């Protein structure tokens, strides 16, 4: 009997062995998940996962609405909402029902074929936001990359920008993701160091500085394809622009024939109290990028909205995504948006956000040496702390103490803490967070300052590699603009070597 014949006869036995191995591994994984403590879970992640995040040491095991539980059953209030991806609350029943129902029918077709859910989603989304067309993607970063490609294509085809000379203008302090194209316009040293060379064709302007933006358009306007901005800068620390800024941007973009591109991935879908944050000034951007809460905290879904004269610059084969517009994501996104509309989550965000800020302003009045500023819109808020008041304590340390008191928030930079709970949160739960913050300031902070005394000097933000300035230490617009011209000329010189 030859080896081939023996192998054929043993095939059922081999298959049974493989099945036993797979089942054993599966049950082993389930047992690990059920039996491991939070500390063990954290240890596993630190050992087996890339160290590209610095999480607050808490393990999510279960979640519902505004609460999460760890493996030991400890209950917390979620004041991050997965960076606003869970605006509708964790595991909203309508969204879960849409997920399960669609998963039992069809999950993926790819855009090589039509499916019966994406067209419904496309019609609903464009009607809701008032645009002609949508280009679906998966993550927010993909949405931004899509918008940048779309702007450049439009610039060459419709505006007549010379080949390969298209410029995208973005804001200092922006955060649009961490792809190589996006970090080419980043001011965050952690995001940029060690990843060059960067994508050319980028110019920077201070967020909120209308005069500087006008200067760039006057000098480079014939080559500027788009101006990409966040209506409120989220990761920079919930930085609101001056009143009227977004309207001024609209007027400048219209005057100089530049696409106004609003990154509403974090600020959109009711987070600030309007369906879009740009709605606060009654402004309609040329391109809108959506993500995060579009998937209701269940699936990654992103989308780029624009009218036909812009969107149809992209032809078949020029851009796409295997999973973009898949039927499962489409069904989930429809349900996610319906929840926002039906439960009036934008209106709730306005009401709850004002109460929340008022309570924190009272706390600031009681502790002006520690709380520097309270700011935000709707339920996208931040508390900035005085570096001197903190001494050697960081915002991360404060967040760890908040966790011990049942509140989960995340710092951005050394002295800023963001508070962005699900939009379904109730007044008593908001007050619970303010109470916990007060207790941390009055009871925990003095102890931490004493313990850390002398271990670290006062917080000194590092200078930006791009412009040499420290965060929030803005130079006059004219000085900044000269720096931009110098950088552009230097880049052009390097490219021609």
| 292 catalytic per annotation | yes
Closest among 359, 286, 237, 239 to 130, alpha carbons compared = 286
| 175 catalytic per annotation | yes
Q: Rounded distance, CA 446 to CA 440, Å?
A: 9
Instruction: Report residue 419: phi and psi, to 5°.
Output: -130, 105
Q: Rounded distance, CA 287 to CA 144, Å?
A: 10
**For 172, left (φ over 0), alpha (ψ -120 to 50), or beta?**
beta
| Residue showing tokens 């358009």 | 217
**Catalytic residue selected from 65, 78, 188, 263:** 263
**Catalytic residue selected from 204, 214, 274, 292:** 292
**Catalytic residue selected from 121, 175, 217, 419:** 175
Closest among 361, 331, 359 to 101, alpha carbons compared = 331
- Active site residue ranges: 175, 263, 292
């Amino acid at each position: 009997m030859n080896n081939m014949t023996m192998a054929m006869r043993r095939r059922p036995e081999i298959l049974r062995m493989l099945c036993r191995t797979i089942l054993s591994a599966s049950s082993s994984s389930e047992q690990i998940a059920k039996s491991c403590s939070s500390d063990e879970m954290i240890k596993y992640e630190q050992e087996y996962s890339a160290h590209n995040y610095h999480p607050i040491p808490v393990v999510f095991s279960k979640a519902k609405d505004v609460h999460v539980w760890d493996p030991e059953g400890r209950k917390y209030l979620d004041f991050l909402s997965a960076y606003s991806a869970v605006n509708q609350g964790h595991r909203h029943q309508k969204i879960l029902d849409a997920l399960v129902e669609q998963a039992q029918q069809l999950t993926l077709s790819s855009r090589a074929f039509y499916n019966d859910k994406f067209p419904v989603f496309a019609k609903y989304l464009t009607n809701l936001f008032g645009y002609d067309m949508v280009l679906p993607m998966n993550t927010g970063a993909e949405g931004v990359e899509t918008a940048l490609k779309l702007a450049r294509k439009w610039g060459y085809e419709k505006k007549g920008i010379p080949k390969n000379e298209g410029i995208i203008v973005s804001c200092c302090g922006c955060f649009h993701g961490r792809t190589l194209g996006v970090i080419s316009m980043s001011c965050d040293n952690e995001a940029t160091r060690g990843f060059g060379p960067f994508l050319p064709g980028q110019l920077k302007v201070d967020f909120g500085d209308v005069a500087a933006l006008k200067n760039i358009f006057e000098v480079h306007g014939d080559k500027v394809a788009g101006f990409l901005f966040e209506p409120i800068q989220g990761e920079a620390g919930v930085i609101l622009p001056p009143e009227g800024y977004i309207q001024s941007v609209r007027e400048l973009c219209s005057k100089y024939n530049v696409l106004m591109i609003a990154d509403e991935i974090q600020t959109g879908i009711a987070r600030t109290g309007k369906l879009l944050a740009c709605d606060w000034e009654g402004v309609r951007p040329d391109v809108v990028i959506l993500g995060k809460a579009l998937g209701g905290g269940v699936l990654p879904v992103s989308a780029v909205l624009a009218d036909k004269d812009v969107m149809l610059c992209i032809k078949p084969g020029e851009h796409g995504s295997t999973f973009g517009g898949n039927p499962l994501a489409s069904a989930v996104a429809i349900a996610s948006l319906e929840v926002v509309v039906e439960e009036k989550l934008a209106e709730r965000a306005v009401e709850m956000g004002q109460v929340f800020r008022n309570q924190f302003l009272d706390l600031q009045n009681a502790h002006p040496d520690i709380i520097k500023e309270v700011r935000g819109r709707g339920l996208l808020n931040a508390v900035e702390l005085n570096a001197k008041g903190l001494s050697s304590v960081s915002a991360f340390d404060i967040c760890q103490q908040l966790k011990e008191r049942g509140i989960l928030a995340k710092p951005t930079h050394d002295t800023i803490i963001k508070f962005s709970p699900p939009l379904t949160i109730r007044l008593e739960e908001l007050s619970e967070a303010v109470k916990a913050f007060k207790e941390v300031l009055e009871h925990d902070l003095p102890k931490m300052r004493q313990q850390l005394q002398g271990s670290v000097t006062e917080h000194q933000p590092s200078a930006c590699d791009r412009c040499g300035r420290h965060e929030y230490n803005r130079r006059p617009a004219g000085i900044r603009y000269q720096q931009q011209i110098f950088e552009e000329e230097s880049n052009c010189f390097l490219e021609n070597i």
